[in-house]
Amino acid sequence: MDARQQKTLARLGDTVLALASAGPITDVTVSRLATEAGVHRSTVYTYASSPVELLQLVLRRELDELRHDYLVGISAENAGAAIDGVTRAVLRHVDEHATIYRRGLGEESGSASLHALLSAHFQGSIELLLDQHSVELPAADATERRMLARYLADGIIGAIDIWLEGEEPRDVDGLLALLARVTPAWWPASAAR
């Protein structure tokens, strides 16, 4: 992506985040998004087929940057600290976009649900750690490995969903401590505390 495209995507990203903070993203049309971002409708379609898809793209890119910054190339000895660091960073990301995530994780989120996005992010992070041998799971085969990754990912998302209901400022350290208490002993983050 060249510099001009990056600048356009950044403007669209800022706009879609602002619109999703102001109200349900499912109520936003491509025309409105384009007008507010100061681009042509066709430009929006260059990056996404809908405002919902663009919102997911923007959030996914932020999450992927965190994964890269904290987890790529981590040794088994440093896995616990890296997992704690990335989890803290993801919680800050979610808290920064709390209005969007409250809507996107809620029972009435429908086509704008962010549960699958967060689940895929956490599962992808776990898979990265497994693939680079930073972490070992007590799994007998690939199916069990996927089940354990999903179990960890979706459990964290459930906790985040309830955490977002709390008053601001939300306690990141308190949620991390709770996750450490309930995470299986074989998961490195629980041993790092």
pLDDT for the residue numbered 91: 98
Q: Is residue 36 part of a domain?
A: no
pLDDT for the residue numbered 75: 95
Q: Which residues touch 41 (CB under 8 Å, ≥6 apart)?
A: 30, 31, 34
Q: Is the pLDDT of residue 191 over 70?
A: no
Q: Is residue 181 part of a domain?
A: yes
Q: Is residue 127 part of a domain?
A: yes
Per-residue confidence band for 173, with pLDDT thresholds at 50, 70 and 90: very high
Q: Is residue 170 part of a domain?
A: yes
Q: Is residue 27 part of a domain?
A: no
For residues 47 and 30, is the Cβ–Cβ distance under 8 A? Answer: no
Q: Is residue 94 part of a domain?
A: yes
pLDDT for the residue numbered 109: 84
For residues 54 and 48, is the Cβ–Cβ distance under 8 A? Answer: yes
Q: CA-based Rg of the chain, rounded to a whole angstrom?
A: 18
pLDDT for the residue numbered 192: 47
Q: Cα–Cα distances in Å, from 181 out to 11, 61, 90, 169, 175?
A: 41, 30, 19, 22, 10
Per-residue confidence band for 106, with pLDDT thresholds at 50, 70 and 90: confident
- Could you tell me the residue range of the domain that residue 110 belongs to? 55-191
If one counts the domains in the chain, the total is 1
Per-residue confidence band for 189, with pLDDT thresholds at 50, 70 and 90: low
* Sign of CA pseudo-dihedral 178, 183, 60, 19: negative
Per-residue pLDDT averaged across 132-145, rounded?
95
Q: Is the pLDDT of residue 45 over 70?
A: yes
Mean pLDDT of the chain: 94
